[in-house]
């Protein structure tokens, strides 16, 4: 038996005797699994007494994504096999972390379709479809994704792309209540992609949409009734209306408003808290991660400068009132699409000879931050990936030491990182003291678009470009440099010493979220379309299985009837698939799945369906350079947010269109022929003549890159 800390000190004996309940770590007596009706504050605070459950997004309130289960461990993980799988029927990105409560696995997929499965067998128990209108597919910046669910006192909570928060009966899937989140009347397009969090009887959710210049906020609702309790805006509102705002917002705006210039409230501002929200029950603080600016260009959004609080900031608020307590801003005057929305973890670390109660985060900007979670004071910050926008963090002020060139103008600037670590869940093991997360050394070309005009209600309200015709050759050179230097790896990081412990190089830029266990294991899906387990101490790859998809979501582990399982949603998509520097580099299946593994599992996936291995060249089409330039401008305004700058998106890479897609182009773009797949029609934005110009631009791009394209996998 593998040595070390044991959550299940007699697992093999359990299997021999077919015990029905798992044992509990550290000498605690066995505890029965809670029913969904028993998921509450006490159950979450005492989650380690029920280690076989996964009751919240990050398992526990601290969201460490560490499980004390160790039946599957470094000594036997090579025997891991597929126990069961479920076809989810989705062709889009599966980002959701499942839950497992009382023998039921709950998961959610694009369009917010929510399904319950028997955790032992995979039998479908119920499914709920909230019928999200197809038009919202074009308002989501980074695929029609959702990151998860929440459970509380017999209910399962989901937040829909179109802005509804819904409570379902955990046993039947029937709606209990539903409330509208988008009730503030702002004219900017909003969606929701994050997972709700529930604590202290409150359901919290943040909005998404900074790319559309939406004003960001997190809202708390009564978990039993759906009644709104409080809302916290990450961007201040119209100063003339401050007296009409709730007291918690007026106090926050008094801090944030002086850091803005111009009439920012007419421009939205951004700051959407689209992912991480964490809770400390002892301090009774909620930590909210603020998003990027909208419009992106600092001078457009806040002419005259200013730090623009609370963009790219971690903000602590009181759980009862939503009142501001403290903040830490990572990127003052944010204009690089940097955010503090990436996964936050609460960890108690021994630093400088004393125990510190910390909040740790590895956001997009490439620095690993350690904060005192009671005060927001910066304890340390070091780069975990190459960074060119700053040379370091000033520990006296907590502010970055900026590279002046990073304040780009109309001349393109090659930024790194673009997003060294994004939403992909990070795990922390108290056994090893290490944080585990996927890293990509990537790049983005940024330049001010002098022709930008704000259009409320539409996407791509960003204000940047690739540099325009005058800088086309420079942009091309920068893009080649960026593409040639992309690296990706699984990183183990020591947050106390602020240094790398180990790394495992990966093939592509879409490696998934992580899970750490007491079995000295780290699990992760890889861009090679595999699911893998690594030694948490050394990074040695101990097990790997092809799974026919790129699992970008984070795994969970649970135990039932004396058997430990590992589960993960596998489906390629999300923001990385839209990135102009990435795309699937291996053959994958058409549809996503929920995959569940156990020791000795013998289930098999069906073989991949044969698909064409060669691409058809672009069709003959007459066009002028004027047509191409006009089509490029229309593409940038309407299409690039999903299909990538310079038409290099992974969902779908439109340079690789099939002859059928070319033939149906106008029916798809204007007629809604593929609306069910997320391609909503653009009849309100494009005339037939304009849509044809976009088509000509895409044909021109395909011809331009054909030598490169024909070496890549077919979509």
314, 289 Cβ separation under 8 angstroms: yes
Q: Is 421 part of any known ligand binding site?
A: no
The set of catalytic residues is: 337
What are residue 413's DSSP bridge partners? 446
Q: Is 365 part of any known ligand binding site?
A: no
How far is the CA of 115 from the CAs of 53, 124, 180, in angstroms? 18, 7, 22
Q: Per residue, what are the HEC states of 231-291? A: EEECCCCCHHHHHHCCHHHHHHHHHHHHHCCCCHHHCCEECCCCCCEEEECCCCEEEEECC
Alpha-carbon span 135 to 678, nearest angstrom: 8
Instruction: Determine the angle formed by the axes of helices 625-638 and 688-704, rounding to 10 degrees.
Output: 100
Structure tokens at 560: 């039932």
Q: Is 95 part of any known ligand binding site?
A: yes
Q: Is 526 part of any known ligand binding site?
A: no
Helices of type H across 551-687: 575-578, 625-638, 640-643, 659-663, 665-669
3-state secondary structure of 343: coil
Q: Is 423 part of any known ligand binding site?
A: yes
Q: Is 272 part of any known ligand binding site?
A: yes
547, 574 Cβ separation under 8 angstroms: no
Q: Is 576 part of any known ligand binding site?
A: yes
471, 412 Cβ separation under 8 angstroms: yes
Q: Per residue, what are the HEC states of 397-444? A: CCCEEECHHHCCCCCCEEECCCCCCCCCCCEEECCCCEEEEEEEECCE
Q: Is 193 part of any known ligand binding site?
A: yes
Q: Is 422 part of any known ligand binding site?
A: yes
Q: Is 642 part of any known ligand binding site?
A: yes
Q: Is 292 part of any known ligand binding site?
A: yes
Q: Is 316 part of any known ligand binding site?
A: no
Give ∠ CA 609-613-618 in degrees, rounded to 5.
125
What are residue 106's DSSP bridge partners? 99, 116
Structure tokens at 424: 């992909």
Residues 307, 311, 313, 316: what is their CA dihedral angle, to the nearest 10 degrees? 110
Q: Is 209 part of any known ligand binding site?
A: yes
Q: Which residues are annotated as a binding site?
A: 95, 147, 193, 209-211, 272, 292, 337, 364, 422-423, 576, 639, 642-643, 679
Annotated binding residues for heme c, written as ranges, equal 639, 642-643, 679
List binding-site positions for Ca(2+).
211, 292, 337
Going by the annotation, the residues of the binding site for pyrroloquinoline quinone are 95, 147, 193, 209-210, 272, 364, 422-423, 576
């Amino acid at each position: 038996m593998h040595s070390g800390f044991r959550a299940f000190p007699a697992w093999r004996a359990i299997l021999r005797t077919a015990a029905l309940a798992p044992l509990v770590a550290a000498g605690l007596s066995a505890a029965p699994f809670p029913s969904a009706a028993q998921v509450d504050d006490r159950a979450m605070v005492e989650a380690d007494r029920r280690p076989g459950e996964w009751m919240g997004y990050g398992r526990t309130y601290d969201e460490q994504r560490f499980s004390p289960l160790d039946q599957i461990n470094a000594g036997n993980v090579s025997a891991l096999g597929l126990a069961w799988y479920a076809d989810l029927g989705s062709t889009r990105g599966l980002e959701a972390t499942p839950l497992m409560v009382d023998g039921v696995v709950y998961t959610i997929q694009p369009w917010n379709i929510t399904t319950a499965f028997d955790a032992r067998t995979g039998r479908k128990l119920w499914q709920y479809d909230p019928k999200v209108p197809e038009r919202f597919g074009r308002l989501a910046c980074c695929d029609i994704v959702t990151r998860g669910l929440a459970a509380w006192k017999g209910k399962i909570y989901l937040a829909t792309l179109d802005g509804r928060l819904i409570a379902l009966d955990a046993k039947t899937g029937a709606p209990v209540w539903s409330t509208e989140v988008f009730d503030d009347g702002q004219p900017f397009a909003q969606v929701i992609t994050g997972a709700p969090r529930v604590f202290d009887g409150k359901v919290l959710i943040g909005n998404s949409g900074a790319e559309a210049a939406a004003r960001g906020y997190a809202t708390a609702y009564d978990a039993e009734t759906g009644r709104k309790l409080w809302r916290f805006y990450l961007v201040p509102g119209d100063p003339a209306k401050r007296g009409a705002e709730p007291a918690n917002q007026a106090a926050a705006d008094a801090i944030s408003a002086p850091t803005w210039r111009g009439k920012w409230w007419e421009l939205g501002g951004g700051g959407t808290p689209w992912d991480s929200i964490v809770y400390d029950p002892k301090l009774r603080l909620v930590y909210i991660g603020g998003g990027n600016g909208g419009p992106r260009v600092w001078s457009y959004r806040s002419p005259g400068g200013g730090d623009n609080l609370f963009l790219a900031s971690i903000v602590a608020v009181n759980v009862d009132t939503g009142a501001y307590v403290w903040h830490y801003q990572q990127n003052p005057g944010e204009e690089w699409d940097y955010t503090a929305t990436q996964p936050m973890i609460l960890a108690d670390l021994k630093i400088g000879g004393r125990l510190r109660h910390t909040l740790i985060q590895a956001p997009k900007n490439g620095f690993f931050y350690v904060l005192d979670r009671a005060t927001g004071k910066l304890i340390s910050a070091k780069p975990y990936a190459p960074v060119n926008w700053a040379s370091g963090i000033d520990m006296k002020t907590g502010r970055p030491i900026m590279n002046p060139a990073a304040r780009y103008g109309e001349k393109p600037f090659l930024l790194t990182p673009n997003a060294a670590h994004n939403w992909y869940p990070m795990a922390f093991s108290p056994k090893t003291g290490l944080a585990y997360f996927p890293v990509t050394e990537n790049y983005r070309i940024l330049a001010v678009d002098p022709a930008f005009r704000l259009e409320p209600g539409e996407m791509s309200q960003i204000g940047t470009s690739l540099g325009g015709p005058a800088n086309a050759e420079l942009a091309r050179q920068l893009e080649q440099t960026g593409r040639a230097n992309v690296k990706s790896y699984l990183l183990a990081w020591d947050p106390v010493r602020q240094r790398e412990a180990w790394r495992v190089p990966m093939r592509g830029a879409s490696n998934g979220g992580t899970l750490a266990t007491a079995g000295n294991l780290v699990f992760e899906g890889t861009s090679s379309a595999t699911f893998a387990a690594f030694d948490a101490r050394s990074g040695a790859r101990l097990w790997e299985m092809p799974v026919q998809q790129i699992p970008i979501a984070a795994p969970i582990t649970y135990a039932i009837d004396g058997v430990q399982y590992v589960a993960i949603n596998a489906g390629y998509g999300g923001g990385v698939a839209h990135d102009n520097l990435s795309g699937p580099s291996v053959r994958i299946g058409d549809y996503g799945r929920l995959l569940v593994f156990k020791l000795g599992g013998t289930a098999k996936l069906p073989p991949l369906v044969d698909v064409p291995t060669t691409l058809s060249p672009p069709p003959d089409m007459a066009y002028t350079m004027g047509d191409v330039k006009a089509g490029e401008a229309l593409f940038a305004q309407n299409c690039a947010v999903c299909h990538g700058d310079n038409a290099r998106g992974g969902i779908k890479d439109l340079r690789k269109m099939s002859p059928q897609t070319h033939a149906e182009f106008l029916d798809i773009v204007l007629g809604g022929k593929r609306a069910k797949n997320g391609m909503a029609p653009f009849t309100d934005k494009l005339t037939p003549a304009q849509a044809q110009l976009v088509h000509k631009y895409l044909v021109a791009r395909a011809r331009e890159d054909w030598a490169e394209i024909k070496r890549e996998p077919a979509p």
